[in-house]
Amino acid sequence: MKLLSSRNFVAGFPVRTVRIYCNIDVQKIGDSMSLKTILKTIIETSGYSIKKSSGVESFYDRDGLQSIHNHDFMRDPAFIEAYARGVQAAGNLDWHWRVHIGLWAAFSASKLDGDFVECGVNRGFLSSAIMQYLAWDKTGKIFYLLDTFAGLDERYVSAREIDSGTLVHNETNLASGHYVSGTDSVKENFSEWKNLKIIEGSIPETLPEIDAKQVAYLHLDMNCAPPEIAAFEYLWDRLVSGAFVLLDDYAYQGYAEQKYAMDSAAAAKDLKIVSLPTGQGLLIKS
């Protein structure tokens, strides 16, 4: 017997197909076992299981996350519109569940006093989606958008991250265009909104340019630990009670140094970060 597995896509959703090749003399087995029972036995003894599907949309497989659980947020018109705005900014990166978490955190934070801060913007996928989702200029808040807009600053990459290939990865992303080079396209992308401030340069050097007295939402996505810790420490006292700190790379494969660094920073404040299956981390200031 041989099992061959392949993955196809139906209506944009992945479907796993398993083909079974085996030689069975059904007559020798007898009439006591139906073909369905025979196949079920073969599949289960081979380490597979059979589950009845409610349709192709019942299975989620994107961005390192596989789930059979409910994800009907993907059919929510507001989500679809917000996600499309992120795609407009940066292309489709299959970040649906990650963006769903970001939109939830931003929506919740919009009910609090304080502005929004994103450290690590790149082309602005998540921040654009959030601003679309919240009808940003009507919130009365300012969105501070900080980035080098030129990839990582090697002065603020730890030795362990360098050893793990972070700078090589950085050069690859710059060469491919995944990392933005310059602010022209970024400014054009955000030009439809007024209540924002784009701050170009390396963190921690640019942190004093954040003049918000209170912060309700902080998103850290700098792909290396030292500047994320610097931003977290610098802004901590400005975070209001209930503020959301969303860490894009916290549990993501290949970014362990950021997780360890953020865990230490949180522990120093007697706090813990929840690890999310999207690869993100989340902390809510109490």
For 151-175, the pLDDT digits (tens) are 999 999 999 999 999 999 999 999 9
Helix (H, G, I), strand (E, B) or coil at 197: strand
For 99-137, the pLDDT digits (tens) are 999 999 999 999 999 999 999 999 999 999 999 999 999
Q: Is 39 exposed, middle or buried (0-12, 13-18, 19+ CB in 10 A)?
A: middle
Give the global pTM: 0.82
pLDDT at 46: 74
pLDDT at 10: 38
pLDDT at 25: 55
pLDDT at 123: 98
pLDDT band at residue 47 using 50, 70 and 90 as cut-offs: confident
Give dist(CA 115, CA 135) in Å, integer.
15
pLDDT at 23: 56
Q: Could you tell me what percent of the chain has a pLDDT over 90?
A: 79
- The mean per-residue pLDDT over the stretch 233-248 comes to 98
- The mean per-residue pLDDT over the stretch 64-92 comes to 96
Residue 3 predicted with pLDDT over 70:
no
- Rounded to the nearest 10 degrees, the angle between the axes of helix 96-109 and helix 77-90 is 110
- C-alpha pair distances (Å), 183 with each of 36, 88, 148: 61, 16, 9
Establish how many alpha carbons lie within 13 A of residue 17's alpha carbon, considering only the half-sphere containing its beta carbon.
Answer: 7
- C-alpha pair distances (Å), 146 with each of 25, 105, 215: 68, 19, 14
- Region of 115 (left: φ > 0; alpha: ψ -120 to 50; beta: rest) is beta
Domains, the chain, ranges and CATH? 2-58 (no CATH), 72-284 (3.40.50.150)
As a whole number, the mean pLDDT across the chain is: 89
